[in-house]
Amino acid sequence: MHSSIVETSRQTVIVQDESDVYAAVGLGRRMTTEMGFGPNAQACAQTIIAELARNALRHGGGGTVELRALQQGQRRGLEIIVEDRGPGISDLARALDGAGANAGNGVPAKGAGLGVGLSSVQRLADEFTIDSAAGSGTRVRALKWDGPYLTDEGPSRRNK
């Protein structure tokens, strides 16, 4: 049986311009370094933060990036919650499969960004949820653990 998850710290960055995206990534780097994340998990966490913060800026007009350091027994994780008050995502399934970014042949269309970042985040995260609807903004939660996701059956990989 797993011990309960404990939040050990929480930081928030308000994203209003590109420099705030870099600030959020830097904060994530500092937090994961302090938590002792390995280089692969650190790189994944930083990529997740950059993609989600940039999406909030470009598509949502700005928003917030909240980073929570988590501990579950010996396991360490970074929970990343990004919210915006933008127009929302009208076709969430399409955005998550990346289809909106292709020119019909699997090659990204010039200037297209719909879905590529979200589908990458979903693959990199150990846990992933998104809530969005047209006209109501978007909230994305991604959790990255240092090392494999552990279940009662042993190591596994989960995306939700």
Residue at 85 is within a domain: yes
- As given in the structure block, the two tokens for residue 123 are 């693959």
Residue 1 resides in a domain: no
Does residue 28 sit within a domain? yes
Q: Is the pLDDT assigned to residue 159 strictly greater than 80? A: no
Distance linking the first and last C-alpha atoms of the chain? 21
Separation between Cα atoms, residue 121 and residue 97, nearest integer Å: 11
Compute φ and ψ for 5, nearest 5 degrees: -85, 130
Per residue in 128-157, pLDDT (tens digit) is: 999 998 888 999 999 999 975 444 444 444
The model carries a pTM of 0.82
Q: Please tell me which residue, 158 or 25, carries the higher pLDDT value.
A: 25
Residue 145 lies in a domain: yes
- Secondary structure class of 133 (helix, strand, coil): coil
| Residue 66: CATH number of its domain | 3.30.565.10
Partnered with residue 79 across adjacent β-strands are 68, 143
Model pLDDT, residue 34: 96
> Is 42 within a domain?
yes
Residue 98 has pLDDT above 50, yes or no: yes
The pLDDT score that the predictor gives to residue 134 is: 82
Which amino acid, residue 51? E
Q: Is 62 within 8 Å of 56 (Cβ atoms)?
A: yes
Split at pLDDT 50, 70, 90, the class of 2 is: low
Beta strands 149-151 and 138-145, pairing class: unpaired
Domain interval for residue 151: 6-156
The full length of the chain comes to 160
Closest CA to 45 of 18, 20, 27, 19: 27
What pLDDT was estimated at residue 111?
Answer: 44
Give the total number of structural domains in the chain: 1
Q: What is the pLDDT of residues 19-70, one digit of tens each?
A: 999 999 999 999 999 999 999 999 999 999 999 999 999 999 999 999 999 9
pLDDT digits (tens, 9 = 90+) for 6-21: 999 999 999 999 999 9
Contact 125, 156 (CB under 8 A): no
Q: Is residue 94 one of the residues assigned to a domain?
A: yes
SS3 158: coil
pLDDT tens digits, one per residue of 59-82: 999 999 999 999 999 999 999 999
Comparison of pLDDT for 5 and 150, the residue scoring more: 5
Query: Residue 46 domain-assigned?
Result: yes
On whether residue 82 sits in a domain, the answer given is: yes
